[in-house]
Amino acid sequence: MRKISKISLVAAVAVAGFSTANAQPLEEAIKNVDVSGSVVYRYNNYDNSEAGNNHSNTDQNNYKIGLNLSSKVNDYVKFNSRFIVGTKNTYDFTSTNAHKDRNGGDGSADISLSQAYFGFTAIPNTVVNIGKQGLTTPYTVAVDINGNEQSGTGILALSTFGPITAGAGYFNNTNVNVSGNGYIKTSDLGFDGGSDMYVATVQGDLDFVKLEAWYAGMQNTFDSYTLAATSKIDLAESANLGLELRHVGLKLDQEYSKNTLDVERDNAMTRLAVDGKFSIVNARLAYTMTDKDGGLTALDQDAKNTSLGWNITSNGIADAKYFQAALGADILDNLNFTAHYGKLKADGTDKVTVNNLVKGYSDVDLKQEEIYGQLTYKMSKNLSTYLRYGQFEQKIDGVKDIDQNMGRIQVAYTF
């Protein structure tokens, strides 16, 4: 026993000496590491009276943790990484079924590395990112504490010249083949995540208006462009008005069309939106139209290049007319209630549009309508929660197939 104790004492002294000798380098290394992230819990409860007794109710717990680590390598190089505790590959929430009659039970999440890239700033007014990174485009969502994310491995360069920013990027693989939620999921479209993807942009900040133009293309899949203008006007000390006009055109590749039952190639979306804050009152109006041959204009329903309510999205729906309205008020400085309304109508067609192909429809009308209220409480700058409740209805050729009450509670902590 004494011999073991003696050895333990010697080991402890050696470890202490080693720690002391290396304390300064370790301390310096920690100083150069920035840590940020988020923790989100979301509870969903949906009850669809048209689904039948077996699957009329959805009862889910959802969790997602994001951790960002960035480290200064030298004066010109910075390493950035992002880890997700959630669902691997899509980087979405991980969900556990809480329904008592369907073997609901607790589960576990995957730990994934979603980003790992180097940022170079040796060239003045220029940043070059190389490696596995979020796809920062209006077609995708690079970082989202509330849902799935799109990433890819490649290079992206951005340069600023006064009020003008120009950039271009190339990615030799992405996760857009699996990570794209909405009425039409990208996993339903047969995209190849190994196909090369190209992006380019020119943006201008002219003080009173911000202009942006984008190109995005995927090898043997699609080519697309985006034109957008946004403006924020300060009307008074506590009153401002926001305006947006956005148009997106996306054309599916001829080879892709041939391999998918000759699906219609032309897709487009135009949106006009107005929002404002007047003292304690907030409001928003938006109107979206999609092309008669197709409405696929984004690779995720949360991206800028599509319009999203709670259950309604214009993405992937041909010949859609989508109206959105919201009106709310601050009850307290940190407590807001907003009512939302959305209505989408799409006339039927016998063409092989994206939504007809994926949903198996032909020449049927689609009508969707939702109304919901949301109470948002910001306890502090880094902790917020909201309670949302509403109703969603869908009719296919006049026949109601969804009549759903919906409830949600979410708590989000950022650090």
Instruction: Tell me the one-letter amino acid at 248.
Output: V
HSE of 235, CA atoms in CB hemisphere, 13 A? 11
Chain-centre distance for alpha carbon 42: 16
Low-confidence ranges of the chain (pLDDT < 70): 1-29, 52-56, 99-104
Q: What is the pLDDT of residue 20?
A: 43
Of all helices (H) and strands (E), which one includes residue 214? strand 210-218
Q: Is residue 194 part of a domain?
A: yes
In terms of residue numbers, what domain contains 89? 32-414
The domain that contains 354 carries what CATH number?
2.40.160.10
Q: What is the pLDDT of residue 26?
A: 63
Dist. CA 236–CA 270, nearest whole Å: 30
Predicted pLDDT of residue 107: 78
CA angle 167–171–175, rounded 5-degree value: 120
Structure tokens at 63: 């969790």
Q: Residue 153 domain-assigned?
A: yes
Q: pLDDT value at position 106? A: 76
Domain count, the chain: 1
- Whether 23 maps to a domain, the answer reads no
Residue 6 placed within a domain? no
Q: Maximum Cα–Cα distance for the chain, whole Å?
A: 88
Does the residue 27 lie in any domain?
A: no
Q: Which residues of 81-94 are buried (b: 16+ CB within 10 A; e: fewer)?
A: bbbbbbbbbbbbbb
Determine the Cα angle at 372 with ends 105 and 358, to 5°: 70
In a domain, 16, yes or no: no
Q: Is residue 13 part of a domain?
A: no
Residue 222 lies in a domain: yes
Place of tokens 């504490």: 145
Of 270, 268, 295, 263, nearest to 366 (Cα)?
Answer: 295
Q: pTM for the complete prediction?
A: 0.90
